[in-house]
Amino acid sequence: MPEAPESSPATAPADDVTCLLLAAGVSRRMGTAKLLLTLDGKSLLRRAAETACAVCRHVAVVLGREPERHAAALDGLPVEIVVNADYETGMSSSIRAGLAAAVRWRPEGVLILLADQPAVTPAFLRSLLEAFRSGRVGPDDAPPLVAASRYPGTVGPPVIFSRRVFAELQRIEGEGGAKAVIAAHERHAVFADLDDAAVDVDTPEDLEQWRSFERDPEGLR
């Protein structure tokens, strides 16, 4: 395993929150294994995994179709590979598979990160972690059950769930992922504005737009 770079206390990978990097989608709109496509010479999957490793000490990467091929893109990174045999049933199955692997680390929470949001940065994820750790909600001024990203019209991943809702996550079904759990605990949630980083890479046009953005950051506006 490669040596980890030196970190300050503020940027050291978190021990109390485990990252579930979801990378098991079927890429129907892209028409190919989109997470192996590259931006600036690096696959989307590896970019996302490096971001996750910069923020969390324990990272479980959930793969679906062609797991060996995707795992090869993560060579040398300190991640645990989880293969979701039921990936075609939707994102919920990947969350359940990742959570089943993560609980052995006994985290206080899990950070659910999608592999197709290339503009999500370690700095943003650290701000979400800080909101999860220091936020207080409700009449009892209690720690939040959820720390979610907010962008125009909706909320969603990246999102951190407290261990107090793990049982609910283990029961979710279908393509909607964990949005129902966020909605159920909205009064006990904190939010961070995600803005441009909310953009997914789902189509060839999305990918070309992001490649243009790499060349000219103003091009995404």
Give all strands (DSSP E) within the chain, no chain letters: 17-23, 38-39, 42-43, 59-63, 80-83, 109-114, 146-151, 154-162, 189-193
Please provide the DSSP assignment of 158-215 as one string: EEEEEGGGHHHHTT--STTTTHHHHHHTGGGEEEEE-GGGG----SHHHHHHHHHHHH
Going residue by residue through the chain, which has 221 residues, state the pLDDT in tens, using 9 for 90 and above: 444 444 555 688 999 999 999 999 765 544 467 898 887 788 999 999 999 999 999 999 999 989 999 999 999 999 999 999 999 999 999 999 999 999 999 999 999 999 988 889 999 999 999 999 999 998 888 999 999 998 887 888 999 999 999 999 999 998 877 999 999 999 999 999 887 555 565 565 555 655 555 544 444 43
CATH of domain 17-220: 3.90.550.10
CA atoms within 13 A on the CB side of 24: 28
